[in-house]
Amino acid sequence: MKTIVLVHGFWVTPRSWEHWIDRYQRAGYHVIAPAYPGFEVEVEALNADPTPIAEVTTPAIISHLESVVGALDEPPIIIGHSAGGAFTQVLLDHGFGAAGVAINSAATEGVLVTPPTQIKSTFPVLKNPANRHKAVGLTPEQWKYTFGNTFTEEESLDLYQRYHVPASGRILWDSVLANFQPGPQDIHVDYHNDNRAPLLFVSGGEDHLMPPSVQRSNAKHYKSSKTITEIKEYEGMGHLLPAQKGWEKVADDVLAWAVEHAGWPAATHGPRTAI
């Protein structure tokens, strides 16, 4: 059975993939949604004690994801959301995966586009350097702007209560500082890597945290003519695209793209929507 690996982002946990896990399993795939080191407990437990979030590092996350993907019998399709999209790019650059999809991806090193909505979205963490040593949560109002701008007030609050956990101040601060430090940093990729698996960027047109301009800039950084790098934008979709109305079509679209570019046989059963 072919394997799909789903990589979550910050301020959420693998629970944010719950709908996609079920859909891809019913389509006949083995699906793994690994947690970051220390995130293996439920959302409620992480909110009660966010110590693992404050202590986690980018190298530890990448090393853990590489151990999970590297232990599989054959390269999987890797799909990452937000920070998980950046980790997906790193995994592909390191030789893992048959194909990858980065959804509303955080930028890899060297992407300098910072739209005003992104500055506002990350301000709760970046407003204070002391947050570098903390796990920093969002208020329901901050979540509504950053994750829930395409949902109603009630829907956004429900999603906040189900998915929200604090994010690592250390990693967010390090990602900002990386572009001002010499040499490769934690989220470095080789944009000229000819051997990287095919990569698709998926962008939500209404995403405040990682807007389309960030996705377009990140995609344009890839220079190799021997690999496939594409971008697809979904109008009306926000940052929490995996939970937004219409997510089924996006899930099917990206799976169809990844299956084709991984050279896998097309799924013959399970849920499908028109593409």
Q: Between 179 and 196, whose confidence is greater? A: 196
Average pLDDT over residues 109-118: 89
- The proportion of the chain whose per-residue pLDDT surpasses 70, expressed as a percent, equals 95
* Tens digits of residue pLDDT in 216-229: 999 999 999 999 99
pTM higher than 0.85, yes or no? yes
Q: Which among 200, 263, 211 has a CA at the least distance from the CA of 106? A: 211
* Tens digits of residue pLDDT in 72-96: 999 999 999 999 999 999 999 999 9
- C-alpha torsion angle, residues 120, 124, 127, 130 (rounded to 10): -160
Position 268 confidence tier, pLDDT thresholds 50, 70, 90: low
For position 275, what pLDDT does the model report?
34
How many angstroms separate the CA atoms of 144 and 242, rounded?
A: 15
For position 60, what pLDDT does the model report?
96
What one-character-per-residue DSSP string does the chain give?
--EEEEE--TTS-GGGGHHHHHHHHHTT-EEE-PPPTT--S-HHHHHH--HHHHH--HHHHHHHHHHHHHTSSS--EEEEETHHHHHHHHHHHTT--SEEEEESPPPPTT-----HHHHHHHHHHHT-GGGGGSEE---HHHHHHHT-TTS-HHHHHHHHHHH---EEHHHHHHHHHGGGSSS--TT---TT-TTPPPEEEEEETT-SSS-HHHHHHHHHH---SSS-EEEEEETT--TTGGGSTTHHHHHHHHHHHHHHHHTPPPP-SS-----
Query: C-alpha distances in angstroms, 56 versus 169, 197, 220?
Result: 10, 28, 30
For position 178, what pLDDT does the model report?
67
pLDDT tops 90 at residue 271: no
* Tens digits of residue pLDDT in 32-44: 999 999 999 999 9
Q: Are 24 and 4 in contact (CB under 8 A)?
A: yes
For position 172, what pLDDT does the model report?
87
For position 182, what pLDDT does the model report?
61
* Tens digits of residue pLDDT in 50-75: 999 999 999 999 999 999 999 999 99
